[in-house]
Every structure is written in C-alpha cells, then in structure tokens.
Amino acid sequence: MRSRSWIALIGATMLATGTGVAMAQDTVIIRPEQRTVIREYVQREPVASIDLPGIELNIGTPVPETVELYPIDVPDVTYQYVVVDGRTVIVDPADRRIVEIIR
C-alpha cells in the first residue's frame, strides 16, 4: 500500500516539475537591445492609443482578435504592437498574447 502512495507522489512530482519546465520555456525574454530598438521604432511610427475596457494588461493576457496589431519592422523582431491607454503593448502575433508592456 505504501509503495502505491510513493508511486503516486513521485508521479505527481514529475508531472508538476514537467509543467513548470514547460511554463518556463513559454516565457518570452526581450533582450535590452531589442527593447531599445522597439522603443525607437514605436516612437518613429506612432499609432493611436486605444482603450480596452474590461481587459487587464498583463504579460500573457490575450489581445482580442478585433484589435489591430502593427508590425515592428526591425531585424530579429517578430512581435507586433498596439498602444493601449498610452502604453506600448508588445504582442506575439502567433497567439496574440502580451509578451511585454513598455511604459
């Protein structure tokens, strides 16, 4: 009976650990030099700020399909952006999730 408990505990631990690793792999890191280039690009190519009532701007939050995303036309950057409440929101166009908020 105890061996079943240990097996269940080990399995649960492995599952939890595996999930943590997968979540860590989903973390997007924008390098400081990319952030600088993105900030400069957004200043050169301003777009109108929009409101998104009822949506909290957090890393990982999906941006609605109805929101137009704008390309960031610089090398090595595949993200797009939108300006919400005066904040530049960097979005992964593949899943429309927020990866960075630049104030």
- Delimit the domains of the chain by residue range: 29-102
What's the pLDDT band for 26 if we cut at 50, 70, 90? low
**Per-residue pLDDT, 7:** 40
| Residue reference for tokens 């650990």 | 17
C-alpha R_g of the chain: 19
| Residue reference for tokens 């137009």 | 68
Per-residue pLDDT, averaged over 51-76, amounts to 94
- Tell me the two tokens of residue 102: 């630049």
DSSP symbols for 15-45: HHHHHHHHHHHH-----HHHHHHHHHHHHHS
The answer to whether the CB of 42 falls within 8 A of the CB of 102 is yes
- Tell me the two tokens of residue 88: 């530049």
Nearest to 74 by CA among 17, 31, 23, 103: 31
**Cut 0.75: pTM above it:** no
What's the pLDDT band for 13 if we cut at 50, 70, 90? very low
pLDDT above 70: percentage of residues in the chain: 73
What's the pLDDT band for 103 if we cut at 50, 70, 90? confident
**Per-residue pLDDT, 27:** 65
